[in-house]
Each structure stands twice: as C-alpha cells, then as structure tokens.
A = this chain, B = another copy of it.
C-alpha cells in the first residue's frame, strides 16, 4: 500500500448533534473501478446539512449510512481510471461519491463538468449543484414570488438560502427579508446580496424582528429551518401565502424532541400553502435552471460564495460546523488541488 486511499467511514449514527466522533479515519488500498465504474481523484467534497439527515436511522431518502460504510457526499474531481471512452482519464466530473481522497463512481451517476469561461471548478460546487436546483425550483416553482410580495428566507447565508435571496431579488419581489445567525452574515446579506432587511435570529426576538421587518405581513417564506422560526412566520402570513418547505435544519440534530408547530392552522385561516419539494423532482429541468443561473452569474447578479476548507481531515468538523453556523455560503472541502486551468 504505497499510496493509500484516505477516507472517513461512519463510526456511529448520531442520535442528536452530529460530531467528529461519528466518523472514523481510515487508510485503505485505492479501490479498483469495476465494469461500469470510474475511479475519481476528488478535488472538492460538498458538505451539506442533509448529510446529517442521511445519518439518521429513520431517514427516508438519501444513500444508506450504516456504521462501517464510507460517509457519502457529492464530489467534483478528475477521472483517473475509466471503463468508458466517454469519460477519459483527466476529465472533470461530478457525482455521488464519498468523504474520500479517491472513490469509484458508477458511470450512470456521473456528469461531466462543463468548461464554461469564467466559471472555475469551485464555482460549480455552489452554483451548478443540487442546492442550486433546490433554491431555483423551490423559489420559482413552489413559492412563486410576485412583484408585490414580501419574501422571507431563513438560513439565508447558507448554500441554498444565499441563492434563494439572490434569485428572489432577481425575480422582483417588493421586499426581501433574510434571517441568519450572525452580524457578519446579516451584513453580507444586506450589503452584498440585496436583502432589504436581515434578522440575526440569535440576538433577536424573532417575532418582534419579523414584525419590524415585514410591516405588511409575509407572502412568501422559503423555509430551510422549521421550528420556532417557521412558527413565527406562520403567525404573520398574509392571505394566499406560500411556504416552500426546503428543509428543517433546526430538527436534524434534535433527536425528534422538538416542540411542535403551533400555528399550522394559519394555513387554513389564510388560505395559504406549505409545500415540500425535492430537487430530484426537477432533474429533467436542470438545464433550464443552470442556464439561467449561468446567465445571472455572467451578468454579476448572482455570486458564488464558498466556505472552503483545505484537507479531507476537516470534513467531520465542517459538517458539525454547519449546525453551529460557522459557514457563509456553501461548505466545501478541498481534498486535492484543482487542475491549474480550473482554479479560481
């Protein structure tokens, strides 16, 4: 084993907060791709809140995650060995991999990374990813903001939320209110992403802050967190409000002990709609979303921000860190250096 493959395996499934103790560092022989597989050297590894959900024993979607398995995660990397002429060695690809320096990927699950001028590989991890589809379709298909609407976005400095905020601004809503967990995030949301107001939920009474920020009530809520924030928004929705249920970060770590939502009946009282969705329902329309996002990016109307950490060793702490609010934008691990022509 001259050059081993280093990876993180699952040590245990967390019952409450995910922590580095739930992962085990492992050094193993580099795997050999079987027929229909590629061997990929990982450049970037995506660290996402949903990975905490995958680890739940009662998860109803996502890859299997039993103790002993490699921890799954989306990767962008370089083909090292291939069994397909369509994916030659050296090609940049993305796919569902693992927290590993190298991993094998089934050809059916791999996509080539297009070489777009002005879009380094790192920008692909935040703009042309599942989170971007989640933001795009959740906002534009589920929530459907109108020009007179007040739009509220939670976890607004995160990978999904920061795109939702920018897309809501582009879509022309009347008032845009972002909720995040630090003054630095709030400043970024107001000064760089165009939010009319930003609420630091860690230092505010969320209800009073929403009253002040949304004097005309709330028409659209893009919910990434659930919990008390959702309840406070529900209490302030206007007739025919729409809530895009994108995630519920506040519950992922709570072991099912969260307080319930007390204002559900506001849906009935306000003829409002709360709707969940999955980016997987919109895969057939990914081209549409990505071409719009690419255009907005070229026009300078949408920016890519990553919380980049170097070295695979950082992955467990990075996942725990998302729940502590340590990231602005998408959390990405640089596992190995990007090809020079694809660097930012």
Residues on A facing B (Cβ under 8 Å)? 60-61, 223, 226, 230-231, 245-248, 251, 258-262, 264-278, 281
**C-alpha gap A273/B265 in the complex (Å):** 14
Residues of B within 8 A of A271 (CB): 275-278, 281
**In the complex this chain forms, how many copies of it are found?**
2
Select from chain B the residue with minimum beta-carbon distance to A262: B260
- Roughly how many angstroms separate A151 CA and B260 CA in the complex, as a whole number? 25
Which residue of B is nearest A247, CB measured? B268
Inter-chain contact B267/A274, CB cutoff 8 Å: yes
CA distance A231 to B260 in the complex (A): 10
Contact B281 A276 (CB under 8 A): no
A330 to chain B, nearest CB (A): 20
Q: How far is the CA of A251 from the CA of B263 in the complex (A)?
A: 10
B261 and A264 form a contact (CB under 8 A): yes
Contact between chains at B281 and A60 (CB < 8 Å)? no
Instruction: Report chain B residues within 8 Å CB of A261.
Output: 260-262, 264
> CA A97 – CA B76 in complex, angstroms?
68
Report the 10 A-B pairs with minimum CB-CB distance, sorted nearest first.
A260-B260, A245-B268, A268-B276, A267-B276, A260-B262, A273-B275, A248-B265, A261-B264, A261-B261, A245-B267
User: Bound state CA distance, A261 and B262, in angstroms?
Assistant: 6
B276 touches A275 (CB 8 A): no
- List the B side residues contacting A226 at CB < 8 Å: 264-265, 268
Chain B nearest CB, measured from A225 CB (Å): 10
A–B pairs, 12, beta carbons within 8 Å: A231-B260, A246-B268, A248-B264, A248-B268, A260-B260, A261-B261, A266-B276, A267-B274, A267-B275, A269-B276, A273-B276, A274-B275
Chain B hits for A230, CB < 8 A:
264
Q: Which of A261, A265, A272 is packed against the most chain B CB atoms within 10 Å?
A: A265
Residues in chain B near residue A276, CB distance under 8 A:
266-273
Closest B residue to A269 using CB positions: B60
Contact A274 B273 (CB under 8 A): yes
Q: Which of B61, B251, B270, B281 is the one whose CB lies under 8 Å from A265? A: B251
Establish whether residues B258 and A262, one from each chain, have CB atoms under 8 Å apart when the complex forms: yes
Cβ–Cβ < 8 Å partners of A266 in chain B: 276
